[in-house]
Amino acid sequence: MAKKNIELFDSEWAIMRIVWDRQPCAAPTVQEALQKEKGWAYTTVKTMMDRMVKKGLLKTKKIRNLYLYSSVLSEPQAQKGEIMKTLKRAFDGTLTPMMQFLIENDELSENEYKELEQLIKNRKRGKPSSKK
């Protein structure tokens, strides 16, 4: 899959979170995990997952008559696509105004401010982030 920014629908996010956590996994496993939250029938989940295979988000491996699904798209790739979409849409593709908005609108806790400061300090020193 090309390393372009991927945008997922909300339903695809729900499925991908289960797949990332349990891969390889079968459609019934995903449907069962989402049953309480979404109430989706097995056929709905299977159809969505098959479409995600066609889109290049998932891949399958057949064992006898069971299809196991794995992610082609990593969680950081999906997160990057989501952030880039928001950045382009709301902030004309510029990161600084987005960060300024988050900082100035009291959306962050004191702990999150401290974590951001530490991440910036570490980046300036050339240290890798301990977060994923």
Q: For residue 2, what pLDDT band results from cuts at 50, 70 and 90?
A: very low
Q: Where in the chain is the domain with CATH 1.10.10.10?
A: 1-91
Q: Is residue 94 within 8 Å of residue 86, measured between CB atoms?
A: no
Residue type, 46: K
Reported confidence tier of residue 12, pLDDT bands at 50, 70, 90: very high
Q: Which fold has domain 1-91?
A: Arc Repressor Mutant, subunit A (1.10.10)
The pLDDT assigned to 116 comes to 87
pTM: 0.79
Alpha carbon dihedral 68, 69, 74, 79, in 10-degree steps, equals: -140
How confident is the prediction for the chain on average, in pLDDT?
90
Residue 44 DSSP SS3: helix
